[in-house]
Structure 1
Amino acid sequence: MKKATQVFYYSIIISVIVVLWGVFAPENLKSVTTDVTSELTAKFGWFYLLLVIAILLFCVYITFSRYGNVKLGKKDDEPEFSRLSWFAMLFSAGMGMGLVFWTTAEPISHAFISSPVAEEGSDAAVLDSLKYSFFHWGIHAWAVYGIVGLILAYFKFNRGMPGLISATLIPLFGEELMKGPLGKAVDVLAVFATVVGVAATLGFGSGQITGGLAFLFGTPNNFTVQLIVLSVATILFIWSAWSGIGRGIKYLSNINMVLAAALMILLFIVGPTMYIVNMFTHTLGSYVTDFFRMSLRLAPLDDENRSWINGWTIFYWAWWVSWAPFVGIFIARISKGRTVKEFMFSVLLLPSLVCFIFFSVFGVSALQLEQLGIATISSFTLETSTFGVLAEYPLGTFMSIVTIVVIAIFFITSADSATFVLGMLSTNGMLNPTNSVKITWGLLQSAVAAVVVYFGGTQGLQNMLIIAALPFALVIILMGVSFLKDVQTAPRPQRK
Structure 2
Amino acid sequence: MATTVDPQPDQARGEDAPPPRRRRHPALDFRFRDESTKDLPIDAFVFGVTATIAVGFLLWGFLSTASLSSASSTALGWTMQGLDWFFVLIASGFVVFSLWLALGKYGNIPLGRDGERPEFRTSSWIAMMFSAGMGIGLMFYGVNEPLTFFADGGDFAVPGTNGLTQAELADVAMAQTLFHWTFHPWAIYAVVGLAIAYGTFRKGRRQLISAAFIPLLGKRAEGRAGKVIDILAIFATLFGSAASLGLGALQIRSGLQIVAGLGETGNALLIGIIAVLTVGFVLSAVSGVAKGIQWLSNINMVLAVALAVFVFVVGPTLFVLDIVPSAIAAYFGELPEMAGRTNAQGGNVATWLSYYTVFYWAWWISWTPFVGMFIARISRGRTIRQFVTGVLLVPSLVSLVWFAIFGGSAIKLQMDGTDIYGAGGVEAQLFTLLENFPWATVTSILVMVLVGIFFVSGADAASLVMGTLSQNGAIEPRKAVVVFWGVATGAAAAVMLLVGGEDGLNGLKTITIVSAVPFAVVMVGLCVALAKDLSQDPLVVRADYAKAAVHEAVVAGVTEHGDDFRLAVEQDTPGAAGDEVGDRAEQR
Report the TM-score, using the length of structure 2 for normalisation.
0.82
Deviation, 1:301, is 3.4
Preserved contact between residue 75 and residue 494 of structure 1 (Cα < 8 Å): no
1:12 alignment partner in structure 2: 51
Q: Structure 1 residue 237 and structure 2 residue 275: aligned?
A: no
| Higher helix proportion (structure 1 or 2) | 1
Q: Structure 1 residue 192 and structure 2 residue 235: aligned?
A: yes
Deviation, 1:38, is 1.1
**The one of 10, 18, 23 aligned to 2:62:** 23
CA offset digits 1:86-121 (Å, max 9, x no partner): 100010111011110001111121112221132399
Preserved contact between residue 109 and residue 539 of structure 2 (Cα < 8 Å): no
SS in 2 for 1:300: helix
CA offset digits 1:240-279 (Å, max 9, x no partner): 1111100110010001001001100000000000001111
Deviation, 1:298, is 2.1
The residue type paired with residue 522 of structure 2 is V
Matches within 5 A, 1:18-417: 18-113=57-152, 114-116=156-158, 117-119=160-162, 122-123=165-166, 124-175=168-219, 177-219=220-262, 221-298=265-342, 300-417=344-461
Q: Distance in 2 between matches of 1:428 and 1:411?
A: 26
The residue type paired with residue 313 of structure 1 is T
Preserved contact between residue 111 and residue 122 of structure 1 (Cα < 8 Å): no
1:100/1:276 CA distance change after superposition, 3 Å: same
Q: Distance in 1 between matches of 2:90 and 2:467?
A: 28
The residue type paired with residue 94 of structure 2 is I
The list of structure 1 runs, each at least 4 consecutive aligned residues, that deviate by more than 6 angstroms after superposition, is none
Q: Distance in 2 between matches of 1:482 and 1:193?
A: 20
CA offset digits 1:420-453 (Å, max 9, x no partner): 1111111011011111111111111111111111
SS in 1 for 2:102: helix
Preserved contact between residue 46 and residue 298 of structure 1 (Cα < 8 Å): yes
Name the stretch that deviates more: 294-303 or 138-147.
294-303
Preserved contact between residue 96 and residue 413 of structure 1 (Cα < 8 Å): no
Q: Distance in 2 between matches of 1:170 and 1:467?
A: 27
SS in 1 for 2:344: coil
Report the TM-score, using the length of structure 1 for normalisation.
0.97
SS in 1 for 2:208: coil
Aligned CA RMSD, in angstroms, stands at 1.6
Give the total of aligned pairs: 494
Q: Distance in 2 between matches of 1:425 and 1:128?
A: 41
Gaps of 5+ in 1: none
Preserved contact between residue 108 and residue 378 of structure 1 (Cα < 8 Å): no
CA offset digits 1:169-212 (Å, max 9, x no partner): 1111111x122221111100000000000010111101100111
Q: Distance in 2 between matches of 1:378 and 1:100?
A: 19
Preserved contact between residue 248 and residue 452 of structure 2 (Cα < 8 Å): yes
The residue type paired with residue 49 of structure 1 is V
Deviation, 1:122, is 4.9
SS in 2 for 1:174: helix
Deviation, 1:491, is 3.7
CA offset digits 1:120-173 (Å, max 9, x no partner): 995133322111111100100000000110011111111111111111111111
Preserved contact between residue 377 and residue 389 of structure 1 (Cα < 8 Å): no
1:119/1:379 CA distance change after superposition, 3 Å: farther
The residue type paired with residue 196 of structure 1 is F
Q: Distance in 1 between matches of 2:335 and 2:427?
A: 29
Q: Distance in 2 between matches of 1:395 and 1:79?
A: 41
Q: Distance in 2 between matches of 1:202 and 1:494?
A: 45
Q: Distance in 2 between matches of 1:47 and 1:305?
A: 16
Preserved contact between residue 23 and residue 451 of structure 1 (Cα < 8 Å): yes
Q: Distance in 1 between matches of 2:428 and 2:537?
A: 53
2:536 alignment partner in structure 1: 489
The residue type paired with residue 402 of structure 1 is L
Deviation, 1:341, is 0.5
Q: Distance in 1 between matches of 2:164 and 2:442?
A: 30
